Amino acid sequence: MPKVVDHEDRRQRLAEAVWELTLREGLEGVTLRKVAAEAGVSMGQVQHYHASREEMVRDAVTRAVAALNARIETSVKAAAAGEETSAEVILRECLYAMLGRDEEGARLLRLSVAVFGRAVSDPALARVMAPDDGELLDLTAGLIAGARAERGKQVAGDPRVDADICWALATGLGVDVALGLRTVEAAETVLGYHLEGVLGRE
Amino acid sequence: MPKVVDHEDRRQRLAEAVWELTLREGLEGVTLRKVAAEAGVSMGQVQHYHASREEMVRDAVTRAVAALNARIETSVKAAAAGEETSAEVILRECLYAMLGRDEEGARLLRLSVAVFGRAVSDPALARVMAPDDGELLDLTAGLIAGARAERGKQVAGDPRVDADICWALATGLGVDVALGLRTVEAAETVLGYHLEGVLGRE
DNA sequence: GCCAATACAATGCGCTTGCATTGTATTGAG
DNA sequence: CTCAATACAATGCAAGCGCATTGTATTGGC
């Protein structure tokens, strides 16, 4: 009976306004009025789609996490579909995706770090940011094992722990990149150096 | 001519109140009134010592960074003064200090991550958080070279890059610990595993 | 055509915020 | 003792906040 609108589209637009504001002014700078202005809608509409500011932010963060996961998945598929379908290429592509090479990646990376900060004192947010239950780790461990086999070098070490380290290292480098303490290229070089050690130096 | 008070002590107490509030409610929860209440002083005193909220927060963060550096230095000296003065022991002690083993360390770690989040959209804060200009990296690189020599194993790799990786990894693990996604013990295990690879597996 | 449900828009309220202002108590120099 | 500088304490204020409320325009079912 009502005016028919695309709810998902509305929420996504609001979420993107929250992202933009968070990047520009931090999570504390996200207010109902500013989000409305940023999205170019009335404050009434914002309230209509979110019961409270807190819920609005949570929705925006949830969507950001989903977008980040989607990007990793996409980059893996893109690498796997290329002519070079070696495990090593996929592994690199997958890890580098976390360092914010392109613009959207950089935005999501900086957004993640901004949310990390708030999640320290907000368990609800921390839960939203929590990584997948080992699925990604399994995938990465498989890629590491595969890449080692490709190189034909014998390397001691549990692939799962090595995968864990790779992601933790990517996180640490990502923080530096997000804060402007390191360029993306420098971070990729460091991560590449580490991978050489993990896969067995040629 | 005036009433004589210890300015440094006043500022330090206010800074600690800011820390506590940041940990409990995030940086956005730090207000003049709350800081005054937390420190058990009047709001007038807070204003007397800080021209603005922003300057107050910056001072508190600066003091936190200094405290963190002091802790690393202390742990290095403590390790060097012990009976086991091997480079490897010092190296481990130094890196583990970043993971928040004791209570104060954990507080400073969580505080750092909280500030990271704000620093993404606040260059002035990012500058305050910026690490020392390679001094720490040089020290760590020296310890890595020393530890390798102790083990008597030939390991390929530039100690400086390896040191860089160690700290970036510690940062990544620290974020996980701060968010409660990893226990301190688990983080230490992972870091220890990485060090085995860096120093040459026995 | 009517009705009820939806999707907003507009306004208002109570509260909190950073900060300015003003008043006052304390001190050491002269 | 006087005086001026310091160290607060107390209060006030405009702005901005989240949220509640109310009004209105649009739609599809009957």
CATH code of the domain covering residue B87: 1.10.357.10
With respect to residue A12, please indicate whether it lies within any of the assigned structural domains.
Answer: yes
Per the CB < 8 A criterion, the answer to whether B55 and B124 are in contact is no
| Strand D contacted by A34 CB (< 7 A) | yes
pLDDT of residue B96: 93
Q: Which nucleotide is the nearest neighbour of B33, by CA and C1'?
A: C17
- What are φ and ψ of residue A183, in 5° steps? -80, 160
Mind listing the pLDDT tens digit for each residue in B132-146? 668 899 999 999 999
Average the pLDDT over B88-100 and give the result: 92
| Strand C contacted by A5 CB (< 7 A) | yes
Does the distance separating the beta carbons of A25 and B28 come in below 8 Å?
Answer: no
With respect to residue B94, please indicate whether it lies within any of the assigned structural domains.
Answer: yes
pLDDT of residue B36: 98
Residue A71, CA atoms < 13 Å, CB-side half-sphere: 22
Domains contained in chain B, number: 1
**pLDDT surpasses 80 at B109:** yes
Does the distance separating the beta carbons of A167 and B169 come in below 8 Å?
Answer: no
Q: How far is A184 from chain B (nearest CA, A)?
A: 14
CB-nearest to B180 from A26, A115, A126 is A126
Does the distance separating the beta carbons of B110 and A120 come in below 8 Å?
Answer: yes
What is the C-alpha separation between A77 and A174, in angstroms, rounded?
22
- Ranked by mean pLDDT, which of A54-63, A124-133, A151-160, B73-82 comes out on top? A54-63
With respect to residue B1, please indicate whether it lies within any of the assigned structural domains.
Answer: no
**pTM confidence score:** 0.92
Does the distance separating the beta carbons of A121 and B117 come in below 8 Å?
Answer: no
Chain A 16-75 residues in 7 Å CB range of strand C: 41-45, 47-48
Instruction: Using an 8 Å CB-CB cutoff, list chain A residues near B131.
Output: 181
Per the CB < 8 A criterion, the answer to whether A121 and B23 are in contact is yes
Per-residue pLDDT band at A137 (split at 50, 70, 90): very high
The one-letter amino acid at B145: A
With respect to residue A2, please indicate whether it lies within any of the assigned structural domains.
Answer: no
What is the C-alpha separation between B122 and B128, in angstroms, rounded?
10
Chain A, nearest residue to B130 by Cα: A181
Which of B57, B121, B155 to mutate: most A Cβ within 10 Å?
Answer: B121
With respect to residue B19, please indicate whether it lies within any of the assigned structural domains.
Answer: yes
Query: Domain range for residue A137?
Result: 7-199
With respect to residue A1, please indicate whether it lies within any of the assigned structural domains.
Answer: no
Does the distance separating the beta carbons of A131 and B114 come in below 8 Å?
Answer: no
Q: Which nucleotide is the nearest neighbour of B56, by CA and C1'?
A: C18
* Helix (H) / strand (E) containing A58: helix A53-81
What is the C-alpha separation between A38 and A26, in angstroms, rounded?
14
With respect to residue B91, please indicate whether it lies within any of the assigned structural domains.
Answer: yes
The Cα-based distances of B63 to A25, B16, B111 in angstroms read 23, 9, 12
Per-residue pLDDT band at A178 (split at 50, 70, 90): very high
With respect to residue B2, please indicate whether it lies within any of the assigned structural domains.
Answer: no
pLDDT of residue A2: 63
